[in-house]
């Protein structure tokens, strides 16, 4: 069973709920209690869009035990159009076609399962956007 912390994070994870500082406008995902830019403690919650751009990436060949069956896979830092940067898996594209600056969108997908009959965890993965 996922931890209580996982359950509390579901609104942010599943609905891409972020926070925008009411004073300086900096955005955070996941939301924070204190803005690291201006120190403010009041935020506006909003739902982020799904578009972004790859800032950097790497190919994981020796993963954590939960992801052993999926190696190798690409993980990148995506600059979301709404401001925050997310670390997420990049899928549906050969590794050699992933490029810094590539447009991606987030899709809600299965991340991993806890054992054969365990709880399935879901989250967002980045997929390329081809014009």
How does DSSP assign 62-118, residue by residue? S--GGGGGG-SEEEEEEEETTS-EEEEEE-SS-GGG--TT-EEEEEEEEEEESSTTS
* Global pTM exceeds 0.85: no
Q: What is the pLDDT of residue 66?
A: 73
The Cα–Cα gap between 69 and 63 comes to 9
Q: What is the arithmetic mean of pLDDT over 41-48? A: 94
pLDDT tens column, 78-128: 999 999 999 999 999 999 999 999 999 999 888 766 766 777 777 889 999
| Better-scored residue on pLDDT, 61 or 8 | 61
> Where do the domains of the chain lie?
1-48, 49-131
The Cα–Cα gap between 83 and 62 comes to 31
Q: What is the pLDDT of residue 1?
A: 43
The Cα–Cα gap between 44 and 18 comes to 8
* CATH class of the domain at 49-131: mainly beta
Largest CA distance in the chain: 47
Q: Which of 109, 127, 131 is nearest to 52 (CA)?
A: 127
Q: Which residues of 94-125 are buried (b: 16+ CB within 10 A; e: fewer)?
A: eeeebeeebbbbbeeeebbeeeeeeeeeeebb
């Amino acid at each position: 069973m996922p931890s209580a912390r996982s359950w509390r994070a579901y609104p942010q994870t599943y609905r891409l709920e972020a926070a925008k500082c009411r004073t300086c406008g900096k955005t955070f995902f996941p939301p924070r209690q204190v803005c690291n830019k201006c120190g403010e403690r009041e935020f506006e919650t909003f739902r982020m869009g799904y578009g972004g751009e790859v800032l950097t990436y790497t190919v994981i060949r020796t993963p954590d035990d939960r992801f052993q069956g999926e190696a190798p896979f690409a993980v990148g830092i995506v600059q979301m159009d709404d401001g925050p940067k997310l670390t997420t898996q990049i899928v549906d594209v050969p590794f050699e076609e992933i490029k810094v600056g590539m447009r991606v969108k987030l899709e809600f997908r299965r991340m991993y399962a806890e054992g054969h009959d365990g709880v399935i965890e879901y989250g967002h993965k980045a997929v390329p956007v081809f014009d």
